[in-house]
Amino acid sequence: MKPSAFEYASPATLEEAVSLLHAGNGNAKIISGGQSLMPMMAFRLAVPEFLVDLKHIPDLNIIRIADDGVHLGARVRWCDIAGDARLLTAHPLLAEAVTHVAHYQIRNRGTVGGSLAHADPSAEMPGVALTCDALLTIIGSSGTRIEKASAFFTGPLQTTLEADEILTELHLPAWPAARRWAFKEFARRKGDFAMAGVALFYDLDGNGRAENAHIGAIGVSDCPIRLGAAEAALNGNVVDDNTIAAVAAAARAEIDPPSDIHAPAAYRRALVGTLLARGLTQSAG
Amino acid sequence: MQIEFELNGATVGTSVEARTSLADCLRDNLGKTGTHLGCEHGVCGACTVLVNGEAVRACLMLAVQANGDKVVTVEGLSSDNLSPLQASFRKHHALQCGFCTPGFITTAHALLTAEPDADEERIRDVLSGNLCRCTGYVPIIEAVLDARKFYAVQKEKA
């Protein structure tokens, strides 16, 4: 339960941090809140030789709300999001999803960037980023790149981040005030990892029909996924009991969830349908 | 590595390996054994301490990350007498074996300092990150609810 030995540095600039990662030659890792990495190191699932702490790098802890949406610095913590009342209107789906992340003490340390880079298949933040077509700013030795969330997550705990790259910002596109949305997840104990969860939003056209449907699921695949068939079943329809049943059925049919000690596949499949139906009912109310 | 931080109001310095957790540093280097280590991977909450006033798990933070911070352990919450929260735990029989108690006390202290009007649902939500293997949760909730009045008075004074 003790991590293996490593060296540690807390550089003052991103450039310095990138060069330390680069020099680590694949054996250096970023630490910030450490709420995912520290357990990984305690179990020796992660055995880095060098840790680069983002603690002293300025401006990464800023929540910026602009015309083009919400910008979250990588070091923004769950308690920062929960404590920022502007987000209740600027991005209510984010604000709601974050209430499900972990427990009180972990929420005081855990960060947006850490959750995205860790890429747990049942974590909330990757699910929200994918569902909302988020853009990720990534800085590395070869410069800065902007990655779509849809391309970023490649597998369980796997992303396109290179060994010498640092995720610095998450950009969630602007949120129209009239948008309909819901976030639902189920865990045996609040704050624990979800057995499954859904994030959804859509807009209403002039005739009260759903358009621009975005539906994402967590805990049912190697990484967060979009539910394309469920979105197609929602688009163009009035959100009534028939539509909700059709969307839930489409979601159940298109997912292929895993079985594990927490829940068999059939349970997760049913759970996604149930959560989606509850979310859609709430969103339409 | 040489580090320095404020511990229970006094500046302390010590030398740690980079891999030393804040919890191990507090216990082994600085003798503050009130911080208990249960799971050592962020599940049980027994090692909760306050860093810059916020409740955090000391097993999920490196000691070197606390360099320059203000750390308060359960020893820092009272002097010769029990704090009102600790007295409330005793009054309500909110501890049995006592292993989890420092984590519950530090967590509840952080909560009530910031939110002295926290209701039972909020208290249950916050304390869900702490495990009591004696399963004495009901008296713990009662003790925290009963201690709110002291924190409300303190907040008013401040």
Domain boundary among B77, B100, B125: B77
pLDDT at A191 over 90: no
Instruction: Give alpha helix (H) positions in chain A.
Output: 14-24, 37-42, 78-82, 87-90, 92-98, 104-107, 112-118, 124-131, 149-152, 228-234, 241-254, 265-284
pLDDT of residue A137: 98
Dihedral, B27, B134, B85, B66 alpha carbons, nearest 10: 30
Nearest CB among A6, A35, A53 relative to B60 is that of A35
Contact B56 A51 (CB under 8 A): no
Residue A184's closest CA among A272, A89, A284?
A272
Mean pLDDT computed over every residue of chain B: 97
Check whether residue B91 and residue B33 sit in a common domain.
Answer: no
Check whether residue B67 and residue B96 sit in a common domain.
Answer: no
Task: Supply the range of the domain harboring residue B153.
Answer: 84-157
pLDDT of residue B153: 94
In the numeric block, the tokens 């911070």 are attached to B69
Question: Is residue B85 a contact partner of residue B111, using CB atoms and an 8 Å limit?
Answer: no
For residue range A2-61, what is the model confidence (pLDDT) as tens digits?
999 999 999 999 999 999 999 999 999 999 999 999 999 999 999 999 999 999 999 999
Check whether residue B62 and residue B104 sit in a common domain.
Answer: no
**Distance between CA atoms of residues B20 and B48, nearest Å:** 16
Check whether residue B54 and residue B89 sit in a common domain.
Answer: no
Sign of CA dihedral A10, A56, A113, B3: positive
pLDDT tier at B155, thresholds 50, 70, 90: confident
Contact B55 A105 (CB under 8 A): yes
Check whether residue B72 and residue B99 sit in a common domain.
Answer: no
Instruction: Give the single-character DSSP code of B70.
Output: E
For residue range B97-149, what is the model confidence (pLDDT) as tens digits?
999 999 999 999 999 999 999 999 999 999 999 999 999 999 999 999 999 99
Check whether residue B70 and residue B94 sit in a common domain.
Answer: no
List residues of A whose CB lies inside 8 A of any B CB. Answer: 1-8, 10, 31, 34-35, 38-39, 41-43, 51, 53, 55, 79, 102-106, 108-109, 189-191
Domains of chain A (ranges; CATH) run 7-53 (3.30.43.10), 63-173 (3.30.465.10), 180-284 (3.30.390.50)
Contact A105 B17 (CB under 8 A): no
Domain boundary among B30, B56, B77: B77
Sign of CA dihedral A237, A239, A244, A248: positive
Check whether residue B100 and residue B51 sit in a common domain.
Answer: no
Residue B35, phi then psi, degrees to nearest 5:
-75, 110
pLDDT tier at B158, thresholds 50, 70, 90: confident
Check whether residue B114 and residue B61 sit in a common domain.
Answer: no
Q: Give this complex's ipTM.
A: 0.96
For residue range B10-33, what is the model confidence (pLDDT) as tens digits?
999 999 999 999 999 999 999 999
List residues of B whose CB lies inside 8 A of any A CB. Answer: 1, 17-19, 21, 24, 39-42, 45, 48, 54-57, 59-62, 64-65, 67, 107, 111, 125-129
Instruction: Give alpha helix (H) positions in A189-264.
Output: 228-234, 241-254
Check whether residue B63 and residue B95 sit in a common domain.
Answer: no
For residue range A150-182, what is the model confidence (pLDDT) as tens digits?
999 999 999 999 999 999 999 999 999 999 999
Contact B128 A191 (CB under 8 A): yes
Domain boundary among B39, B59, B77: B77
Residue A235's closest CA among A265, A262, A204, A256?
A204
pLDDT of residue A58: 94
**Residue A90 to residues A116, A133, A217, A285, B92, Cα–Cα distance (Å):** 21, 16, 22, 20, 44
Check whether residue B58 and residue B73 sit in a common domain.
Answer: yes
Which residues does residue A28 pair with via DSSP β-bridges, in sequence order?
A50
**Distance between CA atoms of residues A209 and A103, nearest Å:** 38
- The first and second tokens of residue B2, run together, are 């040489």
Check whether residue B17 and residue B72 sit in a common domain.
Answer: yes
pLDDT at A189 over 90: no
For residue range A201-256, what is the model confidence (pLDDT) as tens digits?
999 999 999 999 999 999 999 999 999 999 999 999 999 999 999 999 999 999 99
Contact A109 B60 (CB under 8 A): yes
Which CATH number covers residue B21?
3.10.20.30
pLDDT of residue A285: 85
Instruction: Give the single-character DSSP code of A188.
Output: S
Nearest CB among B19, B21, B45 relative to A5 is that of B19
pLDDT of residue A1: 77
* Residues B51-65, mean pLDDT to the nearest whole number: 98
Residue A275, phi then psi, degrees to nearest 5:
-65, -40
State the smallest CA–CA distance between residue A128 and chain B in angstroms: 23
Question: Is residue A22 a contact partner of residue A30, using CB atoms and an 8 Å limit?
Answer: no
**Distance between CA atoms of residues A200 and A212, nearest Å:** 11
Check whether residue B68 and residue B14 sit in a common domain.
Answer: yes
Which CATH number covers residue B135?
1.10.150.120
Number of domains in chain B: 2
Contact B56 A1 (CB under 8 A): no
* Residues A68-83, mean pLDDT to the nearest whole number: 98
